[in-house]
């Protein structure tokens, strides 16, 4: 029998036997397992940037007949990767809890286990397949367990192929664009006991009003989805789709509600927050305008991540310079210090333009603390070009950085370039870069010695319950002694002894405890 939808362009299905085709779904048998494909990912479609306008859906209540579905059952989610994934996990938890599920303490107790995955580098993917290997045993012991894979890896055809052909113990695969479909998909898996695959390649829509189960006193707020930058090494534009911004009124309403609930800090999230609003056809409202409006909301701290130097405009610098709840920590990934490498990465700025931007930021925001993301060993990177990366860290006074060895990602333009820097050289460059970052961090931390600064107390130290940790507005980690009642509060501490990665401090003034969270988390 021939499949009405041609999945053969994505998967090698010579081993598979088609069982049925109905309502656009194809069910086949592979290695003794029935697999129901509702839709599968395609790089070809993920590359396309449709002209159709973004539709926003506000009506996403869980169907009434699904509200009891998870009663007496529990879930466990493992989250890999960036804050976007962490926040997606909060949405998934919100959906599951509205269905009656509760969070399990341990994975072996759970009825549903989900792996929210990251595709950015190969080692992130290896971790997930390793974990799936471990979970196979649990699945054998507990056949009723529903094991699901979601997040960025699910958007890759090669991954979905591998799950179908070599991981028949997986029950559910869904992608980053159809998280809201989870209740329906769980029902489908439970009733059919087939492996259900629903991954949408075409994004397009924004789903509002999804439940979110947040934790602690800090909240993430999505302001936009997707990325249109297509840096040549990066898989994100394929796994997260085209850039689309939430309407300002929806973002502002969410932030006001978080303020009302007593959250102390929000982080605005987007793969490239500086592109916020570029897709609006009916208004000229950009990231700087959004920040200016959020500045007026009574929430103590506002962060954002991640920004692209190319779109970081003067208006944004002007707004950030107004301070208030807009903090001075700015994460500004530059990736490489060599204009030549930046060109091959398709970053669309030069070393000089990056330095000019840093200069503008520093003159407008005197206390600015800059952090960055840096890649070493990009195809063709020479020793001289790597040395330019080191010198840019110094010239731009980067206080902290996430550093990575280049990892080829299938489907990206750089994958076609010759990966010609030997692994030993990449490792050596990473080590040298990390040594420099440690030196820069130490130097930046040293400047805090003796200063009294405001911190948000985040939690207790794992090794010593008398020690609390918190963060300054400049995003420095601070350790100091105090009772756990201070957790969740803003307070003043005096920095006694800076170290390379954190600051030791003592309480200067206890917090005003009346301002506790009212959202009950
Ligand atoms: N290899 C290594 N690092 C990568 N990043 C993105 N794609 C790759 C890749 N293929 C890094 C970039 C980005 C961060 C989130 O991950 O530095 O800013
Ligand atoms: Fe990836 Fe570049 Fe988009 Fe960042 S801006 S998500 S590095 S493509």
| Helix 383-395 with 423-446: angle, nearest 10 deg | 10
State residue 1's pLDDT score: 42
Q: Within the chain, what is the greatest distance between any pair of CA atoms? A: 76
pTM (2 decimals)?
Answer: 0.92
Residue 306 CA to ligand 1 center (angstroms) comes to 12
State residue 12's pLDDT score: 60
Q: What percent of the chain has pLDDT over 90?
A: 79
Q: Is residue 29 predicted with pLDDT exceeding 80?
A: yes
150 is in an annotated binding site: no
Residue 506 CA to ligand 1 center (angstroms) comes to 37
State residue 39's pLDDT score: 86
Tell me the mean pLDDT in the region 317-334: 97
SS3 labels along 280-296:
CCCCCCCHHHHHHHHCC
State residue 11's pLDDT score: 57
Average pLDDT over all residues of the chain: 92
6: Cβ contacts below 8 Å, ≥ 6 apart: none
Burial class (CB in 10 A: 0-12, 13-18, 19+), 502: middle
Alpha helices (H) along 297-376: 314-320, 339-344, 351-364
State residue 33's pLDDT score: 87
Q: Distance from CA of residue 153 to its chain's centroid?
A: 13
Q: What is the pLDDT of residues 295-304, one digit of tens each?
A: 999 999 999 9
Residue labelled with tokens 């509060």: 489
State residue 509's pLDDT score: 84
Q: What is the pLDDT of residues 123-133, one digit of tens each?
A: 999 999 999 99
Ligand 1 atom nearest 233 alpha carbon: 10
Q: Is residue 480 predicted with pLDDT exceeding 60?
A: yes
The confidence band for 18, taking pLDDT boundaries of 50, 70 and 90, is: confident
- Domains, the chain, ranges and CATH? 17-198 (3.40.50.12160), 211-446 (3.80.30.20), 452-509 (2.40.50.140)
What is the β-pairing status of strands 33-39 and 25-30? antiparallel
Q: What percent of the chain has pLDDT over 70?
A: 94
Give the pair of three-digit tokens for residue 377: 């060993």
Q: What is the pLDDT of residues 371-416, one digit of tens each?
A: 999 999 999 999 999 999 999 999 999 999 999 999 999 999 999 9
Tell me the mean pLDDT in the region 240-245: 92
User: Residue 436, CB half-sphere, CA atoms under 13 Å: how many?
Assistant: 23
Lowest mean pLDDT among 38-47, 228-237, 479-488: 38-47
Count of CB atoms situated within 10 Å of the CB of 426: 21
Answer yes or no: are the C-beta atoms of 221 and 335 closer than 8 Å.
no
State residue 107's pLDDT score: 94
Q: What is the pLDDT of residues 246-299, one digit of tens each?
A: 999 999 999 999 999 999 999 999 999 999 999 998 999 999 999 999 999 999
Residue 227 CA to ligand 2 center (angstroms) comes to 6
Q: Closest Cα partner for 175 from 147, 145, 153?
A: 153
State residue 51's pLDDT score: 63
**For atom 1 of ligand 2, which residue has the closest CA?**
234
CA distance 446 to 435: 17
Tell me the mean pLDDT in the region 304-309: 96
State residue 16's pLDDT score: 80
Give the pair of three-digit tokens for residue 449: 């010695």
Lowest mean pLDDT among 60-74, 157-171, 186-200: 60-74
The confidence band for 423, taking pLDDT boundaries of 50, 70 and 90, is: very high
| Helix 351-364 with 383-395: angle, nearest 10 deg | 10
The confidence band for 496, taking pLDDT boundaries of 50, 70 and 90, is: very high
Q: Which ligand is nearest to the Cα of residue 335, counting in written order? A: 1
118 is in an annotated binding site: yes
Q: Which ligand is nearest to the Cα of residue 332, counting in written order? A: 1
The confidence band for 52, taking pLDDT boundaries of 50, 70 and 90, is: low
Ligand 1 atom nearest 306 alpha carbon: 18
DSSP string, 364-421: HSTT-EEEEEEEE--TT--HHHHHHHHHHHHHTTEEEEEEEE----TTSGGGGS---S
């Amino acid at each position: 029998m021939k499949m009405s939808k041609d999945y053969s362009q994505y998967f090698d299905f010579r081993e598979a036997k088609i069982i049925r085709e109905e309502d656009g779904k194809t069910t086949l048998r592979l290695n003794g397992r029935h697999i129901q494909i509702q839709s599968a990912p395609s790089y070809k479609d993920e590359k396309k940037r449709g002209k159709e306008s973004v539709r926003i859906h506000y009506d996403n209540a869980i169907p009434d007949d699904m509200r009891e579905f998870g009663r007496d059952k529990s879930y466990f989610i493992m989250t890999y990767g960036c804050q976007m994934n962490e926040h997606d996990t909060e949405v998934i938890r919100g959906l599951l809890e509205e269905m009656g599920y509760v969070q399990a303490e341990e994975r072996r107790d759970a009825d549903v286990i989900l792996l929210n995955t990251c595709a950015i580098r190969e080692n992130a993917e290896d971790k997930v397949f390793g974990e799936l290997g471990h979970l196979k045993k649990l699945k054998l012991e507990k056949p009723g367990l529903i094991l699901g894979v979601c997040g960025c890896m699910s958007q890759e055809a090669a991954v979905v192929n591998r799950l179908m052909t070599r991981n028949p113990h997986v029950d559910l695969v869904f992608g980053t664009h159809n998280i809201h479909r989870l209740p329906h998909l769980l029902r489908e898996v439970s009733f059919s006991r087939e492996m259900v695959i629903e991954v949408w390649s075409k994004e397009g829509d924004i789903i509002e009003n999804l439940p979110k189960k947040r934790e602690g006193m800090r909240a993430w707020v999505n302001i936009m989805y997707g990325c249109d930058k297509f840096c040549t090494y990066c898989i994100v534009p394929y796994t997260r789709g085209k850039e689309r911004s939430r309407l300002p009124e929806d973002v502002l309403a969410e932030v006001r509600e978080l303020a009302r609930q007593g959250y102390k800090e929000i982080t605005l999230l987007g793969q490239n927050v500086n592109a916020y609003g570029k897709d609006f056809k009916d208004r000229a409202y950009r990231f700087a305008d959004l920040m200016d409006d959020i500045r007026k909301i009574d929430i103590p701290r506002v962060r954002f991540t991640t920004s692209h130097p190319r779109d970081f405009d003067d208006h944004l610098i002007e707004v950030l310079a107004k301070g208030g709840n807009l903090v001075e920590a700015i994460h500004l990934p530059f990736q490489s210090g060599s204009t030549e490498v930046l060109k091959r990465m398709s970053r669309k700025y030069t070393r000089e333009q990056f330095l000019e931007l840093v200069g503008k930021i520093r003159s407008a925001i005197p206390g600015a603390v800059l952090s960055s993301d840096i890649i070493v060993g990009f195809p063709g990177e020479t020793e001289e070009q790597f040395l330019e990366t080191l010198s840019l860290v110094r010239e731009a006074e980067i206080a902290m950085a996430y550093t990575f060895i280049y990892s080829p990602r299938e489907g990206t333009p750089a994958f076609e370039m010759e990966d010609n820097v030997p692994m030993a050289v990449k490792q050596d460059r990473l080590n040298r870069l990390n040594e420099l970052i440690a030196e820069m961090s130490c130097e930046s931390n040293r400047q805090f010695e003796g200063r009294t600064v405001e911190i948000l107390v985040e939690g207790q130290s794992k090794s010593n319950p008398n020690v609390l940790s918190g963060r300054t507005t400049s995003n420095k980690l601070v350790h100091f002694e105090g009772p756990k009642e201070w957790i969740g509060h803003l307070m003043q501490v005096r920095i006694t002894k800076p170290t390379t990665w954190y600051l030791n401090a003592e309480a200067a003034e206890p917090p005003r405890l009346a301002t506790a969270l009212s959202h009950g988390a």
